[in-house]
Amino acid sequence: MSNATALSVKDPYLDNQPKGNWINGRYVAAISGETFESVNPATGLPIATLARSGAEDVDSAVRAARAAFRGSWSRWTPAERQRLLERIREVLGENFQELARLDTLEMGAPLSRTMGMKASAQATISYYASQVYAGTGQTVPNSLPGSVMTMIVKAPVGVIGGIIPWNGPLSSVWWIIGPAIATGCTLVLKPAEDASLSLLRIGELLQQAGVPDGVVNVVTGYGSEAGSALSSHPDVDRIAFTGSTETGRNIIRASAVNIKRLQLELGGKSPDIVFADADLDAAVPGAAMAVYRNSGQVCYAGTRLFVERKVYSEFVERLKVFTETLKVGNGLDPDVQLGPLVSRKQLDRVLSYIDIGGQEGAILAAGGCRIGGELANGYFIEPTVFSNVTNDMRIAREEIFGPVISVIPFETPEEALALANDTEYGLGGAVWTRDVAKALRMVNGIQAGTIWVNGYGQVDAAIGFGGIKMSGYGTKGGPAHVDSYLYHKSVYING
């Protein structure tokens, strides 16, 4: 395993990083005056001090968002909102390198990955710019007596609460900002405590792009404090959340206060099925990076890797060889492919599951250790492969959220499908085969919101993705996503 040299955490922008929340177009300190530190997971050292917000801070942001919603923002035309989104796209492009560096410093992903999000982030904004007329109503014929005109009118739901995950804030946030601005809603964003810097900077950049004060607000803090207050706030009309299933349940309970609309993207334990007739030269690295991408910290990672028995031994060996070629290290090193885990807590969690896998009888085929040497102070772990895994082991059933692959053999397509669906989750899934009929059978049979064939992880805002079962509900992307930021008015006009 090759390790990158640890780099300095010094960054010119961080010296001037504001410490407050972004509310109504300016930075304000937490009302309590409390703060917390953001830590670089590559070094274990603090890099910024952020506002530790509570219910009062969230309330301040919600009031700003509500005032903006009722104010001049409500009079912006679809064409004006479209031009604004196009300007946001331009400003994002001009400042993306800075934002990518902030994400790398704070949550560890290699700069090659965070910079690589530029095209998809801009494409996402462009898609939502194309959807500004989604609020167009329609006249509808009716069977009422007399002269009655009937129509359906769509209107923005109001104030949106967006709770952003730490594993990809720079990409995730546009799936909320985009439809909110396209439909005329306003926003209060609560970034994860492990990754807040890029979202605070985005608040500033949106103002530069012409977003009116109060339309987008950013409140930092802990999920149990600021996140909980946002979820239960009676003047928030919709919550968009990406995160754990446990937190999702709490948000569902909190939403009862005013019957909020919810869109929840929760946990996953996605099946990745490789048949013997697959192109193994593509399937081996494809299945590996379906887990290792972002150091395994992706909700739809294909962590349950089902391989047909005919090629099982060969596949495990090739997977081991590929795994050992990957370079792990500080994300600021341009040659690094995998960065650290986001926190010491996450590192301990992943290491505990590696211990559990060995105790359950799985065979450690590659990796499995924390990386020491020059990287000892960071939260680095070797990408890990377990073979001899059965679908009832904890490492095959529980979300680890780290670079750990469980390779499970199967004999027939029927068995593969039964194993794939034997999970409480339903976020993603994939199949590798040259047989179109077999591929379509898996596509139709796998119970998940997003399915890939001979690839893994591609996402586009026009198509979208989502989950079922314990992986949440509400599609992100596509016309249905935009429509969920609107409500329908049925109108009857007597002549």
DSSP 209-239: HTPPTTSEEE--S-IIIIIHHHHH-TT--EE
Strand stretches in 283-338, DSSP E: 304-308, 327-328
For residues 365 and 234, membership in a common domain is answered with no
Q: Are 241 and 276 part of one and the same domain?
A: no
Q: What is the pLDDT of residue 136?
A: 83
Asked, for residue 381, whether it belongs to a domain, the answer is: yes
pLDDT of residue 18: 54
Q: Is 262 in the same domain as 231?
A: yes
448 found inside a domain = yes
Residues 291 and 162 in one domain: no
> Residue 171: exposed, middle, or buried by beta-carbon count in 10 A (0-12, 13-18, 19+)?
buried
Q: For residue 140, with 0-12 CB atoms within 10 Å meaning exposed, 13-18 middle and 19 or more buried, which class applies?
A: exposed
Closest CA to 71 of 191, 204, 213: 213
483 with 368, same domain: the answer is no
Quote the distance between the C-alpha of residue 398 and its chain's center: 19
Site of tokens 């000892």: 376
Q: Which of 106, 193, 265, 399 is catalytic?
A: 265
Kindly report the CATH number assigned to the domain that includes residue 136. Answer: 3.40.605.10
Same domain flag for 415 and 440? yes
Same domain? 280 vs 262: no
CA distance to 16, 157, 339, 394, per residue, from 353 (Å)? 39, 42, 19, 8
Structure tokens at 64: 């700003």
Say if residue 197 is in the same domain as residue 290: no
484 shares its domain with 405: no
Residue 107 located in a structural domain: yes
Structure confidence at residue 9 (pLDDT): 36
Residue 2 is assigned to a structural domain of this protein: no
Give residue 11's Cα distance to chain centre: 26
Give me the half-sphere count of Cα atoms (radius 13 Å) on the Cβ side of residue 439: 14
Considering the candidates 299, 308, 382, 399, report the single residue annotated as catalytic.
Answer: 299
Buried b (16+ CB within 10 A) or exposed e, 107-138: bbbbbbbbbebbeebbebbebbbebbebbeee
Q: What is the pLDDT of residue 11?
A: 53
Number of domains into which the chain is organized:
2
**Catalytic residue at 265?**
yes
Are 219 and 106 within one domain?
A: yes
188 plus 310 within the same structural domain: no
Domain that holds residue 455: 271-459
488 assigned to some structural domain: yes
Residue 217 lies in a domain: yes
- The verdict on 445 and 477 lying in the same domain is no
Averages of pLDDT over each 10 residues, the chain, 495 residues: 34 59 97 94 94 98 98 96 98 96 95 95 97 90 93 96 95 97 98 96 97 98 97 98 95 96 96 98 98 96 98 98 97 96 97 98 98 97 98 98 98 98 98 98 97 97 94 92 96 93
Note whether residue 465 is domain-resident.
no
DSSP states along 353-384: HHHHHHHHT-EEEE--SB--GGGTTS--B--E
Is residue 373 a contact partner of residue 3, using CB atoms and an 8 Å limit? yes
Active site residue 324: no
Which CATH number do you get for residue 314? 3.40.309.10
Residue 127 lies in a domain: yes
